[in-house]
């Protein structure tokens, strides 16, 4: 199998599995316990918290563990809205957010809040000047993703953060795709809340984190015990947290090497697609783009048929977000950047990992060229 769907999920590093294993059998104490057996679990959890904080320039007290990116997004948006409803009920986001953000905003709209959905240009970028124009006296939150999960476009996060800070508005960013792919510094980028998910960077599924800037008032999303400094109820997923911390340390250590490797493979793949397969188009910004993302349209080709053919050849790619793979609805991201409806169906997303090789890209291209030609001839 050749795996080119790292935006959907990543394999867990072997070192991560080794780090996690003792917490299922030998060190399974509850970290809220006061005896030594529980304290051992607590110490490892705090080590993971410190590592994750360091990776984004935060304090360890500002990191709160969650079940993943969706919970973190929901927590940041819903509870900011609840806490600040006396100040205002206006939220600004973009039209290409992950559904964890869009559907949460839609829920708030049904409950009396107003949401402005900023448009994006043909590359998937918001306009900071349009964002400034959208800000009102009753605006309480700006939530803009760091990088898009489908087309890989990286937003001008620092400018957004500076504007939000100047206006006294909280800024949340969904960094699920960007964490350990982009150099994130929550202080320099004026980020108040940031969401990430462990399985996107070599950690386990079912665990993530929300960074909450010190001094930001954000009530608990879950009702229950006093875990996570009384902000996130529920017994912590110690093994998952320890694994996520280890994956974060590996990703931070190998950041530059991985970035260069992915850029080299991504740029080679984009160049070959554009030169070797006629009538192909790359979606998203070519300059402001995640290092491993290639989203491409093949005109007069049914993308689903192409995915099935590649799957039969042992090659895994996707048509977009894995969270919506069972849905037949058209990608809201591709619609937002102005892709004609007749071309959207011919889109596939190829997302690379550092373990991929140029030889695998050669194999992908050989198969793509043959399949695209055959599908067009039989269209």
Catalytic annotation, residues: 323
Interatomic CA distance for residues 247 and 198, integer angstroms: 8
Interatomic CA distance for residues 248 and 168, integer angstroms: 31
Interatomic CA distance for residues 184 and 142, integer angstroms: 18
Q: Are the C-beta atoms of 190 and 173 separated by less than 8 Å? A: no
Nearest CA to 96 out of 77, 121, 114 is that of: 121
DSSP 197: E
Q: Are the C-beta atoms of 124 and 295 separated by less than 8 Å? A: no
Interatomic CA distance for residues 174 and 187, integer angstroms: 16
Nearest CA to 121 out of 338, 341, 347, 281 is that of: 338
DSSP 289: B
Helix (H, G, I), strand (E, B) or coil at 19: helix
Nearest CA to 73 out of 171, 172, 152 is that of: 172
Beta bridge partners of 196: 209
Pairing status of strand 90-94 against strand 114-118: parallel
Nearest CA to 178 out of 203, 154, 144, 208 is that of: 154
Cα separations (Å) of 372 from 191, 255, 312? 43, 35, 15
Helix axis angle for 358-377 and 255-276, nearest 10°, is: 30
């Amino acid at each position: 199998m050749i795996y080119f769907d790292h935006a959907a999920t990543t394999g867990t590093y072997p070192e991560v599995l080794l780090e996690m294993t003792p917490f299922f059998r030998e060190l399974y104490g509850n970290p809220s316990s006061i005896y030594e057996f529980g304290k051992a679990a607590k110490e490892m959890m705090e080590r993971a918290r410190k590592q994750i904080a360091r990776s984004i320039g935060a304090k360890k007290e500002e990191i709160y563990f969650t079940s993943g990116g969706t919970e973190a997004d929901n927590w940041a948006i819903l509870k900011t809205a609840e806490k600040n409803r006396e100040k205002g009920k206006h939220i600004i986001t973009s039209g290409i957010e992950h559904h964890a953000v869009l559907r949460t905003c839609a829920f708030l709209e049904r409950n009396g809040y107003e949401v402005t959905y900023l448009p994006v240009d043909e590359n998937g970028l918001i306009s900071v000047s349009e964002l400034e124009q959208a800000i009102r006296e009753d605006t309480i939150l700006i939530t803009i993703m760091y990088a898009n999960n489908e087309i890989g476009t990286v937003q001008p996060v620092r400018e957004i953060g500076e504007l939000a800070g100047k206006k006294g508005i909280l800024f949340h960013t969904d960094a699920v795709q960007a964490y350990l792919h982009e150099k994130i510094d929550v202080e320099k980028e004026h980020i108040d809340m940031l969401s990430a998910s462990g399985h996107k960077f070599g950690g386990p599924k079912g665990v993530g984190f929300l960074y909450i800037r010190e001094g930001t008032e954000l009530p608990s999303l879950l009702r229950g015990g006093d875990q996570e400094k009384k902000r996130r109820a529920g017994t912590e997923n110690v093994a998952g947290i320890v694994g996520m911390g280890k994956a974060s340390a590996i990703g931070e250590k190998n950041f530059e090497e991985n970035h260069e490797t992915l850029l080299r493979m991504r740029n080679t793949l984009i160049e070959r697609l554009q030169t070797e397969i006629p009538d192909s188009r790359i979606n998203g910004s070519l300059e402001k783009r995640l290092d491993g993302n290639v989203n491409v349209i093949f005109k007069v080709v049914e993308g689903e048929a192409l995915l099935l053919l590649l799957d039969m050849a042992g090659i895994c790619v996707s048509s977009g977000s894995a969270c919506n793979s069972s849905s037949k609805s058209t990608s809201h991201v591709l619609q937002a950047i102005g892709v004609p409806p007749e071309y959207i169906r011919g889109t596939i997303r190829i997302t690379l990992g550092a373990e991929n090789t140029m030889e695998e890209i050669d194999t992908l291209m050989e198969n793509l060229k043959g399949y695209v030609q055959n599908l067009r001839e039989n269209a």
